[in-house]
């Protein structure tokens, strides 16, 4: 039996627990010193002692430390949100059932700090994991098995997301002629043989994971026997259902007549969830406007002093369900920028979206505003008017919509956003296909935790200024 190093998920869970413990201790101390002015010393000590135990316990019950959610997707953040709500419920229960009076100020300060700092802590731990994986540590050697038609896109998707930690070391592929002088690799991955030789590849490459692509020849008894063999070697087995753009929370197993069926929940962006998103959007927008108002006024003055013309720029964009609206931005170009557009379009770096580096139409102040996305601040007014959301697909022009393929029209099912996955994943450096893939993934897998995760990542992306021009 080979000696296994400390699994990445164990190390990740330890760091996550350490971060949550620090957050709870810091919150407990702050609450005891600031939000309990009339409390006794014993009560303060009880809060500092009990809060970490209670917080870590609730997080554990909320699946905050489960391996399947570690390091990817919004489920970790949803666990933090649920835990904060459960803590409010626990305080209410103590006040009602146990007649333990919990001051409202104490509850408000503790829950708010735990939620905000808990979300930030998970983001820090996750970034640390991605940094380690970029350095080549805490990755999992992966052998891919399947048909050539399904293995190739699977390898591409895995390479597209190195932060997920799968390092493809070999492929066992059917549908290829491995005789003669044909290449012995696919997508830069060595082809070890056919799927029947998978166990030899696992032993030779000391694999941690076997990934099975959607292969009609590998199912039922064959897949079950493969799982048994991997279990003896303490190797993980993951199976691709052949579905792209569907997040884990929408997938579940439904046993029917002794046969497990993969159930795919329909995307939900209606009813109560739409109302919640709208309420959160407007509440956060009001807060942002209050904080940013002095900066907005200063930017408007700087634009007027830098070049002739108005401070604001209005442009017709297409919103949800194809409805047009006037999107607001700070003016970053000369006043005749639209007239000069036609001669510059051939230099665009994106098939559908027109963006170019060193655009001669951009003013000096405008270049600085674009670098840090400050030109987008007036769109907070569009959010208040209900035309946009804080998070969503990029608001397109009508001429862009007219060139959409059928798949791209799905972007218009939701309100466009001031920020989105495209903003935190490369901004203008993305190709049209990459931008579309991210927008469609957002539309199909939206949840409130995902929005909050994107907002956290937006602050970092804006500060770095990468991909903005």
Nearest of 251, 163, 225 to residue 212 by alpha carbon: 225
Q: How far is CA 312 from the centre of its chain?
A: 31
Give me the tens of pLDDT residue by residue for the chain, a chain 469 residues long.
444 567 888 999 999 999 999 999 999 999 999 888 888 889 889 889 999 999 999 999 999 998 888 888 788 888 999 999 998 888 787 777 766 677 778 888 999 999 999 999 999 999 999 999 888 888 899 999 988 888 888 888 888 888 888 999 999 888 766 555 545 777 788 888 788 888 999 999 999 999 988 766 666 777 888 888 888 888 988 888 766 666 656 666 666 666 677 666 666 666 778 888 899 999 999 999 999 999 999 999 999 998 888 999 999 999 998 999 999 999 988 876 666 666 555 555 444 455 556 677 788 898 888 888 889 999 999 999 999 999 999 899 998 898 888 888 888 988 999 998 887 876 656 777 778 888 888 888 888 888 888 888 887 777 665 555 4
pLDDT at residue 43, rounded to an integer = 85
Please enumerate in sequence order all residues whose Cβ is within 8 A of that of 333, keeping only pairs 6 or more positions apart, or say none.
313, 359, 361, 362, 363, 366
pLDDT at 1: 42
| b/e code 162-199 from CB counts within 10 Å (16+ = b) | eebbbbbbbbbbbebeeeeeeeeebeebebbbebeebb
Contact 102, 88 (CB under 8 A): no
- What's the confidence (pLDDT) of residue 105? 82
Strand partners, 254: 261
- For the record, the structure tokens of 431 come out as 């190709």
* Dist CA 131 CA 123 (whole Å): 12
The CATH architecture that domain 140-242 belongs to is: 3-Layer(aba) Sandwich (3.40)
pTM of the model: 0.71
- Distances from the Cα of 365 to the Cα of 221, 307, 380, 445, 466, angstroms: 66, 9, 20, 37, 18
Q: Which H helix or E strand runs over 239? A: strand 236-239
In this structure, what token pair is assigned to residue 326?
């006037």
Contacts of 401 (CB under 8 A, 6+ apart): 318, 322, 409, 412
Q: Domain locations in the chain?
A: 8-134, 140-242, 271-464
How many Cβ atoms from other residues are within 10 Å of residue 71's Cβ? 21
The values of phi and psi at residue 385, to 5°, are: -80, -5
Q: What is the pLDDT of residue 176?
A: 67
Tokens of residue 34, six digits: 């600031």
Classify residue 308 by its DSSP letter.
Answer: S
Angular region, 48: left φ>0, alpha ψ -120 to 50, beta rest = alpha
Q: What is the model's pLDDT at position 349?
A: 47
Angstrom distances, CA of residue 443 to CA of 68, 125, 269, 317, 414:
23, 27, 8, 18, 7
Instruction: Specify whether the CB–CB gap between 253 and 68 falls below 8 A.
Output: no
What are the tokens at 391?
A: 């998070």
- Say if CB 412 and CB 401 are below 8 A apart: yes
Token pair listed for 434 = 């990459």
Spatial separation of the C-alpha atoms in residues 335 and 338, rounded to whole Å: 8
Question: Distance between CA 256 and CA 463 in Å, rounded?
Answer: 51
**pLDDT of res. 347:** 54
DSSP symbols for 349-406:
SSSSS---TT-TTB-HHHHHHHHTTGGGTTHHHHHHTTS-EEESSPPPPHHHHHT--G
């Amino acid at each position: 039996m080979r000696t296994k190093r400390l699994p990445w998920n164990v190390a990740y869970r330890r760091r996550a627990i350490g971060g949550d413990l620090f957050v709870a201790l810091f919150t407990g101390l702050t609450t005891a010193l600031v939000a309990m002015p009339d409390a006794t010393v014993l009560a303060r000590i009880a809060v500092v002692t009990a809060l970490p135990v209670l917080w870590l316990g609730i997080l554990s019950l909320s699946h905050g430390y489960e391996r399947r959610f570690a390091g990817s997707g919004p489920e970790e953040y949803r666990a933090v949100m649920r835990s904060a709500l459960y803590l409010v419920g626990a305080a209410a229960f103590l006040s009602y059932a146990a007649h333990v009076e919990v001051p409202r100020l104490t509850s408000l300060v503790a829950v708010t700090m735990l939620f905000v700092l808990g979300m930030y802590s998970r983001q820090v731990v996750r970034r640390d994991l991605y940094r380690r994986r970029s350095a080549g540590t805490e990755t999992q050697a992966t052998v891919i098995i399947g048909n050539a038609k399904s293995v190739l896109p699977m390898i591409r998707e895995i390479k597209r997301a190195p932060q997920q930690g799968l390092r493809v070391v070999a492929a066992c592929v059917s549908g290829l002629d491995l005789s003669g002088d044909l290449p012995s690799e696919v997508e830069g991955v060595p082809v070890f043989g056919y799927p029947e030789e998978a166990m030899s590849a696992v032993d030779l490459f000391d694999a941690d994971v076997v990934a099975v692509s959607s292969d009609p020849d590998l199912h039922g008894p064959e897949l079950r026997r493969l799982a048994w063999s991997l279990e003896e070697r303490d190797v993980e087995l993951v199976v691709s259902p052949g579905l792209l753009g569907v997040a884990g929370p929408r997938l579940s197993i439904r046993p029917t007549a002794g046969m497990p069926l993969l159930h795919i929940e329909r995307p939900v962006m209606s009813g109560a969830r739409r109302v919640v998103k709208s309420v959160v959007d407007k509440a956060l927008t009001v807060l942002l406007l209050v904080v940013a108002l002095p900066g907005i006024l200063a930017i408007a003055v700087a634009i007027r002093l830098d070049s002739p013309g108005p401070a604001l720029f209005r442009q017709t964009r297409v919103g949800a369900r194809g409805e047009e609206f006037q999107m607001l931005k700070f003016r970053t170009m000369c006043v005749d920028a639209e007239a000069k557009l036609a001669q510059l379009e051939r230099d665009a770096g994106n098939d559908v979206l027109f963006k170019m580096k060193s655009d001669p139409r951009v003013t000096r102040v405008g270049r600085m505003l674009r670098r840090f996305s400050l030109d987008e601040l007036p769109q907070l007014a569009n959010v208040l008017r209900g035309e946009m959301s804080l998070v969503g697909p990029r608001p397109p022009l009508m001429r862009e919509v007219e060139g959409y393929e059928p798949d791209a029209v799905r972007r218009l099912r939701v309100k466009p956003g001031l920020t989105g996955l495209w903003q935190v994943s490369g901004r203008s450096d993305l190709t049209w296909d990459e931008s579309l893939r991210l927008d469609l993934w957002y539309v199909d897998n939206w949840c409130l935790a995902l929005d909050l995760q994107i907002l956290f990542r937006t602050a970092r992306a804006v500060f770095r200024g990468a991909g903005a021009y």
